[in-house]
Structure 1
């Protein structure tokens, strides 16, 4: 699968929206879950085609919901702090370039409900459709 010119930016913005409080390892892990959707062996085409499509697929990532407070940052109306976005871009480059192993075990879902306090992410493997 080829990576489009826009994919790295969309993925970085998704990481900022979904995992900016998780630090670099959490951001890499979320990016890996997205990558696992892109390369899903179950051929679940409803994930979308490529990183950008997977990130923008309705109801997949709440940060892209138009009613989400951070949506204005993701679409560029408001500016994401440059250091935070740069950290997300590092995670994106590591994942897209295959420079990190997958600690999620191939998970395509994650739960950050304990987000700020625990800094942990729980992983869920893909469920057959």
Structure 2
């Protein structure tokens, strides 16, 4: 069973990374699901990414919304459930993806980047995306096939 703290951290990660796409509807709920799938796939790898939702989400420089200098960080730390409908949706997605109720729409992806970046990250150059939704492109770079969660 996934702890309520883990679901909360995952929801805050979704809120920080993809709430704009949900609000603009250019990615909708699928944008939130995609980020949650990447987190769960990384947890499934049980590797340097981390072994728990908390470790994966809070690992330095993996999800930019948690970086100290990111303008999203104070926003995601202060948002409260039942006071922000988008955050409530992020909580629902976090719970449903982390407990396995919803499928992995990213086909095992463990990395993504926002297409509005000036250029693709080095790790993405020459790699084939597995999924695209809204402003995010998803990739599977970890060698393990599948991610049980």
TM-score by length of 2: 0.72
Q: C-alpha distance in 2, partners of 1:21/1:73?
A: 13
For residues 27-60 of structure 1, give each alpha carbon's deviation from its aligned partner in whole angstroms, at most 9, with x where no partner exists.
01110110000001xx42x211210110000010
Partner of 1:9: 8
Gaps of 5+ in 1: none
Partner of 2:55: 53
Where in structure 1 do 4 or more consecutive aligned residues deviate above 2 Å? 2-5
Q: C-alpha distance in 2, partners of 1:64/1:122?
A: 20
Partner of 1:26: 31
- Count of paired positions: 120
RMSD of aligned alpha carbons: 2.0
2:47 corresponds to 1:35? no
Partner of 2:25: none
Partner of 1:84: 86
TM-score by length of 1: 0.83
Partner of 2:141: 126
Gaps of 5+ in 2: 22-27, 118-132, 144-149
